[in-house]
Structure 1
Amino acid sequence: MSRRPLRIAIVGGGIGGLTAALSLRQAGFEADIYEQAPALTHIGGGINMGPNAARVLIRLGLGEGLLREGVRPASTHQRRWDDGRTLQRAPLNPQCEELYGAPHVTIHRADLLAVISSGLPPERIHLGHRLLGFSDKGGHVEAWFDNGVRIDADMLVGADGIHSAVRAILFGEEAPKFAGCVAYRGLVPIERLADLELSVVSPGSGRAAISCITSCR
């Protein structure tokens, strides 16, 4: 007699949660996403994705969408912040693909979420579900949400980010600790960039840096 597949509930519909759900479903498990937001958010900025990460998504069958929505920069060019003098220039593509079997890709977070979620059945992504609690029942887990929904699963995965409800329930509330680093983001129309192949990182005084990443947005 065949056994039913394990039912896995994943709390959090970000990059990690969606990728976990897709990987688990392709391995034969039942996986459902429970995301507190009413829609998969467009919040976020550009993401630099090395060939190791791109290779995982390609193996999951997302290569066409990833390469359609993302950009494959030809090189990275590092300059001094004060006088623009070149410190180093390194090739990215097509060398990354030749060496590692996948390209270096830059992509907007919203586009990446759309690419990954396209590999999942829509009915397996449950939006508007904010986790309130869960309980270990021995052979299964019971979880409940702010909209009154209660579910049973064989396993619960917490992929709900820096303010994780799963982590807080398991280990107690703990405020994030400031690491002393700040990132400021801005947008420049791509037609104003003379060289579309460059990803420029300019180390400034102290720990400051300026990064210009070509993107499809």
Structure 2
Amino acid sequence: MTTPESPLHLIIIGGGLCGLSAAIATRLAGHNVTVLETVPAFREVGAGLQITSNGTRLLKAWGLSNTLSSQAAAPKYFRMRRYNGDLLADTTQYTEEIEARYGSPLWCLHRADLQVAIAEKAMELGVVIKPGCKVESVKWGEKQAQGQTESEV
């Protein structure tokens, strides 16, 4: 983690995958981060996601490889056909080919597993997550923003 001369205190509205990822990245850059999330607790919502090599490379750099690789499935076979049935691509070593070509695997994960792992990593790094904090409005100023929430922040 780097330490800038004048660390900022960033408030991120939304504790979804993007908000939590932004929180980790800015915390690793040495800034203080608070995430405001509307829901009172993370729930198992969503479906399966395919995380391509550029995404898994980043997750590994954040130290999430051990946590997520045990929960991920890596597709072994890949077959693609045209609308008329003509075969466009066919491989039985898809996982190996992806990792060899791009330097990181393709993972299939449930969205909830990914969100929990990213949230836990963010908190481990010192990100403050405030669940049950609905932001009602934001007013932008010259050098700051003010927000109105339903609950005290």
What interval of TM-score do these two structures reach, taking the shorter chain for normalisation? 0.7 to 0.9
Q: Tell me the distance in 2 between the aligned counterparts of 1:58 and 1:12.
A: 23
Q: Tell me the distance in 2 between the aligned counterparts of 1:62 and 1:106.
A: 15
Unaligned runs of 5+ in 1: 151-217
The correspondence for 1:55, drawn from 54, 57, 60, is: 57
When the two chains are superposed, the root-mean-square deviation of aligned CA atoms in Å is: 2.3
- 1:19 shift after superposition: 0.6
Name whichever structure is richer in helix by fraction.
Answer: 2
Preserved contact between residue 130 and residue 145 of structure 1 (Cα < 8 Å): yes
Give the % identical residues: 27
- Equivalent residue, structure 2, for 1:133: 137
- Equivalent residue, structure 1, for 2:99: 97
Q: Tell me the distance in 2 between the aligned counterparts of 1:70 and 1:32.
A: 28
- 1:3 shift after superposition: 4.5
- 1:24 shift after superposition: 0.6
Q: SS in structure 1 opposite 2:12? A: strand
**What are the equivalent positions in structure 2 for 1:106-185 lying under 5 Å apart?**
106-121=108-123, 124-147=128-151, 149=152
Q: Tell me the distance in 1 between the aligned counterparts of 2:78 and 2:34.
A: 38
| Letter matched to residue 132 of structure 1 | E
Q: Tell me the distance in 1 between the aligned counterparts of 2:97 and 2:31.
A: 36
- Equivalent residue, structure 2, for 1:189: none
Cα displacement string for residues 110-163 of structure 1 (whole angstroms, at most 9, x for unaligned residues): 00101111212277111011110111232211112112x25xxxxxxxxxxxxx
Q: Tell me the distance in 1 between the aligned counterparts of 2:86 and 2:110.
A: 27
- Equivalent residue, structure 1, for 2:69: 67
Cα displacement string for residues 57-76 of structure 1 (whole angstroms, at most 9, x for unaligned residues): 11111111121111111122
- Paired residues in the alignment total 146
- Equivalent residue, structure 1, for 2:15: 13
Deviates more, 1:90-99 or 1:68-77: 90-99
Runs of 4+ deviating beyond 3 Å? 78-82
Q: Tell me the distance in 2 between the aligned counterparts of 1:111 and 1:76.
A: 24
- 1:78 shift after superposition: 3.2
Q: SS in structure 2 opposite 1:9? A: strand
Q: Tell me the distance in 2 between the aligned counterparts of 1:86 and 1:70.
A: 31
| Letter matched to residue 146 of structure 1 | E
TM-score by length of 2: 0.84
Q: SS in structure 2 opposite 1:121? A: helix
Q: SS in structure 1 opposite 2:121? A: coil
TM-score by length of 1: 0.61
Larger Rg: 1
Preserved contact between residue 57 and residue 63 of structure 1 (Cα < 8 Å): yes
- Equivalent residue, structure 2, for 1:206: none
**What are the equivalent positions in structure 2 for 1:33-52 lying under 5 Å apart?**
33-52=35-54
